[in-house]
Structure 1
Amino acid sequence: MSTDAVRGGAARAVESVAPVLAASGRPVSGPADGIPPGYGRRWTAVVAGFPALVMLICGLIGIGDRQLWRDEHATWWAATQVSTTDFVRLLSHIDIVFAPYYSYMRLWTAVFGDSAPALRLPSLLWMSVAAALLGLLGRRLYDAPTGLLAGLIFAILPTVSRYAAEARPYAQTLAVTIGATLLLLRALDRPRPRRWVWYALAVVAVGLSHLVALAVLVAHALLVLGEVRGQDRRIVVRRFRPWLLAVVVGLAPVVPVVFQARQQSHQIVWILPPEPLDLLRLPGELFGSRSVAIVLFFVALVGLAVSRWPSLALSAWILVAPALTYLTFDQFQLFYHRYLLFTVPAWVLLAAAGTLWMARLGQAAPVPDGRPVLRPALSVAAGALALALVAGYGLAGHRFVRSDLLEDEHAFRAAAGFVRTHAREGDGIAYSNYRYLRRAFAYELRHDPRPIDVFLDVPPAENGWYHAEECGRPARCLGDVRRIWWVSTRLGPDPLDREPGRIGDLLRDRFVVAQVVEFHKIWVLELVARE
């Protein structure tokens, strides 16, 4: 992402933000005074549409430049490489929590293909929806300027930019979590059975999108409580009863998934136990930049003072999931920054509220009804400054998330491209030391005649897993192949000499090394049969 692109985008953002922020010259209303927030339907298209447009533009920049990494390869495999029967078998062993995502990705790839941009486009659409819904949620909780600013800050965060261009379900989780919160508030505004049904369906969507995101229900409980505080007991019961019923109904379809996911907990054993400092590092990981996290953290602290109940609910949205996953890590192993990405909207809402609240300092006396009037110039200046700081400090993060260095991943694309260029018909290929190599090369070589996978015994699709079983009798499987492209992650001066077991002995006995090419964390060796 170039500096000129960021500067141009920031300039356009300021120009478009100005009219809506200027509208804040009228008295500010909010939940604290009982007046429904927002400035009318005429701003809905801007408050929702402009953040979505900015998100769409940011996400499209370099959407196909970065190679797919190992988790995205899993999405591709589940979406394209297995039959329906094999797909069901796969989910019975692993990734049941991603079943809805993989299911519609199977339909998507059947229509739009499996290129990197095609695989990532659904995430970008989800993230654009999330930005739009966040603008509307900010308007409902605070006012239209706050909603617009929150949506724009969200759209230019490096980590949001990353997951908007990644073939994984985290953007979907963000969208349905924000949407469920907005549907709850709509049901509270005008309680109708139909609206509670929609909210119940949203709870189902949150749970099936990512189980950890269900922690947002604590924030929802506080929002309901905020709506009925000080009311008669009968009113409190009348409001809480449909909410509890909707939550119970919404959780019912999720319970079997929770049970099955518990049986598959072995798939996340790679997550290391957290340390106390990991809690302090979490905001930087959530925003994709430590500098951006520091800026948003301090203005979010100011946002806590804007109004009692929204701030309390947003604080629960932010804190409950990290605290629970940290304290229960030994049982569930779920404390990981990607799993907590759904807390970012609450951070951003508090930061936007705090930014515009600070703009009120030093202004003229309040209007007769006691509500302060926010000067348009101060509003625009505060919003523009916040956007400029996030864009400037986040620029390095945007560049990084568009590079192949993300996740310190192996150079799959470059290594596979080398094999594609030099392999001939009848050549073999073999993989060593890293179980994701076979799947990554299968993706990168999917449109080309592939070398023979000489040591493959049981393909992943038949194995009910993402990984294959290799031949127990390598000499028999090798056959009369005369040249092998040997792909290894055993970095060092002579990877073949350090290959253990019967496969290593067989290759050293029958082949000589014709050339060695090194890529990032991958060696590709051309092995030619001895004469």
Structure 2
Amino acid sequence: MWRDESVTYQVAHRSLPEIWALLQNADAVHGLYYVLMHGLFALWDGGLVTLRLPSVLAVAVAAGLVGLTGCRIAGRRTGLLSGLVFALIPEVQMYAQEGRSYALVCALVALGTYLLLRCLSEPSRRLWILYGLSLLAAGWLHEFAVLALPAHGITVLASRADRPVRRAWALAAAAVAAGLVPLVLLSAGQSGQVSWISGPKPKEWLEITGVALVAVLCARYPAAGRGPVLLPRLALPLAVLPTAVLLLSAIHEPMYVDRYVLFTDIGFALLVGTSLSALVTAASRCGPLRARLPRATALSAAALAAVLALTPVTLQMRTPDSRKDDVTAVAAEVRRVSSPGDGLVFAPSRRREWRLSHPDEYDGLVDLALGRTPRASASLQGEELPVPEIRARMLSVDRIVVLSDPPGQPEDTVPQEAVKREVLRAHFHECSRTQVKGAQVTLYARGAECAAPKGN
């Protein structure tokens, strides 16, 4: 479990009134997901399995819907290949095993995309209502799912649909947008929560550019006469437009994070699957079996190479090293170095989320800076005491376990964080410092002895 999953876990275990109070202050964008997870944990509190099972099932459903979409446009082989490509994308595998809302959003957008395709060929009021409801639900799980709407709008225009179809899509899109207004208004006041977003790094820019180029090339290949024209008109906008919109938002404020637009992999998988199917078709038309063997061998070798190349990434994503931090490892290290009665300090305070999902590991430790618990303060990390009280409480103990970010991270400048650093420098010395994934656990003591008091 890492920090974001830890937040899901501890918020889902609050009561519904407590979740509602929290959403007035933070994480409104994830409110519906927290309520759904609260209900699931009420039915079965299976720990990490319960936490991650909805994402696993959602990606399985999304892969099936991608396959159905490809099958409806271009046949079973295209559908099968598209669904397999979707399931093999590393980013999809990452969020298939994570207790957050992004896989559910992806499944709902995949459903909406499939329903849109059906509406273009056999429009009906029932299908349009289902289409609108699927995207509205996706938007309430994460409001950036609304970016699928303009991508679908381009598909409707590019497919040269009849005026009644265009009008029906416009009404459905307007209903979805109107239904998301309350969430947008509530979450707009909490925009400080995403102030950490700094935009893509050079490696991410390379990945984004590479994916866009592959998508465009695959879209041109079927359009050249080797595949149906509708599929690139459906898949290319979905694969490219949401990411482009978030990148352009950096003119005002950086907003791009890959998981926010995980559903773009639906369009990417459809494009790659269609091109692969077209290649197989081309290989099967190369005359007699002897003439087809070299091309078939080359295609098989390419498929094997792709699987082998993805295997290390797939295995690495199933280890703690694939996440930013490991709250389980942090808790275990705290248990190892601490003794009952020791003080506990989170620097910065937002790292208190490391404790919330493993409270038993912190039994007997005194959170020296905490004024009101996260539940009592309707917040994610709780409210800290004023500076003088933090100073006095830190000076009242002989040993303090400090949980902090890894070296190189910027230090918070708020007074509470500054006084923690000042007291530790002036009155304590470092006994031990342990690096764990995404965190460090440091034991400080006053005086010459770092050992725990006798009897503890």
Into which bin does the TM-score normalised by the smaller protein fall? Answer: 0.7 to 0.9
User: For 1:457-516, what per-residue CA distance to the aligned partner results, in whole angstroms no more than 9, with x for missing partners?
Assistant: 122223332223322212543585454333344749xxxxxx985445555676565544
Cα displacement (A) at 1:348: 1.0
Alignment of 1:120-135 (within 5 A): 120-135=52-67
Alignment of 1:441-452 (within 5 A): 441-446=355-360, 449-452=363-366
CA distance in structure 1 between the partners assigned to 2:321 and 2:219 by the alignment: 31
- Check if 1:397 corresponds to 2:313: yes
What is the match of residue 7 of structure 1?
none
What is the match of residue 57 of structure 1?
none
CA distance in structure 1 between the partners assigned to 2:165 and 2:215 by the alignment: 34
User: For 1:297-335, what per-residue CA distance to the aligned partner results, in whole angstroms no more than 9, with x for missing partners?
Assistant: 755553443232321221111222122222222335322
- Check if 1:271 corresponds to 2:192: no
CA distance in structure 1 between the partners assigned to 2:134 and 2:298 by the alignment: 34
Query: Which amino acid letter does the alignment assign opposite residue 330 of structure 2?
Result: A
CA distance in structure 2 between the partners assigned to 1:85 and 1:110 by the alignment: 15
Tell me which of 289, 302, 315 is aligned to 2:221. Answer: 302
Query: Which amino acid letter does the alignment assign opposite residue 460 of structure 1?
Result: P
Give yes or no for contact 1:359–1:382 (8 Å, CA) kept in 2. Answer: no
- Check if 1:189 corresponds to 2:121: yes
- Check if 1:247 corresponds to 2:173: yes
What is the match of residue 454 of structure 1?
368
Structure 1 residues 502 and 314, CA, compared in 2 at 3 Å: closer, same or farther?
closer
Tell me whether 298-307 or 93-102 shows the greater mean CA deviation. 298-307
Tell me which of 324, 327, 341 is aligned to 1:426. Answer: 341
Q: Secondary structure at the match of 1:254?
A: helix
What is the match of residue 92 of structure 1?
24
What is the match of residue 360 of structure 1?
281
Give yes or no for contact 1:303–1:352 (8 Å, CA) kept in 2. Answer: no
Tell me which of 182, 195, 213 is aligned to 2:145. Answer: 213
Cα displacement (A) at 1:387: 4.5
Cα displacement (A) at 1:143: 1.0
Structure 1 spans left out of the alignment, 5+ residues: 1-67, 230-235, 287-292, 367-374, 493-498
Tell me which of 42, 48, 54 is aligned to 1:110. Answer: 42
Query: Which amino acid letter does the alignment assign opposite residue 198 of structure 2?
Result: L
Structure 1 residues 162 and 450, CA, compared in 2 at 3 Å: closer, same or farther?
farther
What is the match of residue 282 of structure 1?
208
User: For 1:23-45, what per-residue CA distance to the aligned partner results, in whole angstroms no more than 9, with x for missing partners?
Assistant: xxxxxxxxxxxxxxxxxxxxxxx
Structure 1 residues 504 and 254, CA, compared in 2 at 3 Å: closer, same or farther?
closer
Q: Secondary structure at the match of 1:307?
A: coil
Structure 1 residues 410 and 321, CA, compared in 2 at 3 Å: closer, same or farther?
closer
Query: Which amino acid letter does the alignment assign opposite residue 365 of structure 2?
Result: P
Structure 1 residues 176 and 500, CA, compared in 2 at 3 Å: closer, same or farther?
closer
Structure 1 residues 376 and 228, CA, compared in 2 at 3 Å: closer, same or farther?
farther
CA distance in structure 1 between the partners assigned to 2:332 and 2:180 by the alignment: 42
Cα displacement (A) at 1:121: 1.2
What is the match of residue 144 of structure 1?
76
User: For 1:339-391, what per-residue CA distance to the aligned partner results, in whole angstroms no more than 9, with x for missing partners?
Assistant: 2221111111111111121223365499xxxxxxxx99999878855643432
Structure 1 residues 426 and 159, CA, compared in 2 at 3 Å: closer, same or farther?
same
Query: Which amino acid letter does the alignment assign opposite residue 257 of structure 1?
Result: L
What is the match of residue 232 of structure 1?
none
Query: Which amino acid letter does the alignment assign opposite residue 336 of structure 1?
Result: V
Query: Which amino acid letter does the alignment assign opposite residue 245 of structure 2?
Result: L
CA distance in structure 2 between the partners assigned to 1:188 and 1:105 by the alignment: 35
Give yes or no for contact 2:6–2:327 (8 Å, CA) kept in 1. Answer: no
Cα displacement (A) at 1:123: 0.7
Q: Secondary structure at the match of 1:335?
A: coil
What is the match of residue 524 of structure 1?
441
- Check if 1:315 corresponds to 2:229: no
Aligned residues with identical type, % of pairs: 28
Alignment of 1:134-173 (within 5 A): 134-173=66-105
- Check if 1:339 corresponds to 2:260: yes
Give yes or no for contact 1:300–1:352 (8 Å, CA) kept in 2. Answer: no
- Check if 1:70 corresponds to 2:3: yes
Give yes or no for contact 1:420–1:445 (8 Å, CA) kept in 2. Answer: no
User: For 1:104-139, what per-residue CA distance to the aligned partner results, in whole angstroms no more than 9, with x for missing partners?
Assistant: 011112233262232111111111110111110111
Cα displacement (A) at 1:219: 3.6
Query: Which amino acid letter does the alignment assign opposite residue 118 of structure 1?
Result: T
Give yes or no for contact 2:321–2:437 (8 Å, CA) kept in 1. Answer: no
Tell me which of 12, 29, 42 is aligned to 1:79. Answer: 12
CA distance in structure 2 between the partners assigned to 1:383 and 1:443 by the alignment: 48
> Between Structure 1 and Structure 2, how many residues are aligned?
435
Structure 2 spans left out of the alignment, 5+ residues: 409-415, 450-456
Q: Secondary structure at the match of 1:484?
A: strand
Query: Which amino acid letter does the alignment assign opposite residue 87 of structure 2?
Result: A
What is the match of residue 60 of structure 1?
none
Structure 1 residues 202 and 510, CA, compared in 2 at 3 Å: closer, same or farther?
same
What is the match of residue 329 of structure 1?
250
CA distance in structure 1 between the partners assigned to 2:316 and 2:157 by the alignment: 42
User: For 1:252-291, what per-residue CA distance to the aligned partner results, in whole angstroms no more than 9, with x for missing partners?
Assistant: 211221222222222112111458985543166x7xxxxx
Q: Secondary structure at the match of 1:253?
A: helix
CA distance in structure 2 between the partners assigned to 1:279 and 1:457 by the alignment: 42
CA distance in structure 2 between the partners assigned to 1:389 and 1:445 by the alignment: 46
Structure 1 residues 224 and 449, CA, compared in 2 at 3 Å: closer, same or farther?
same
Give yes or no for contact 1:207–1:213 (8 Å, CA) kept in 2. Answer: yes
- Check if 1:463 corresponds to 2:377: yes
Structure 1 residues 470 and 258, CA, compared in 2 at 3 Å: closer, same or farther?
closer
CA distance in structure 2 between the partners assigned to 1:378 and 1:98 by the alignment: 52
Query: Could you state the TM-score of these two structures normalised by the residue count of structure 2?
Result: 0.83
What is the match of residue 186 of structure 2?
260
CA distance in structure 1 between the partners assigned to 2:248 and 2:197 by the alignment: 15
Give yes or no for contact 2:332–2:361 (8 Å, CA) kept in 1. Answer: no
Structure 1 residues 281 and 256, CA, compared in 2 at 3 Å: closer, same or farther?
same
Give yes or no for contact 1:429–1:451 (8 Å, CA) kept in 2. Answer: yes
Give yes or no for contact 2:431–2:444 (8 Å, CA) kept in 1. Answer: yes
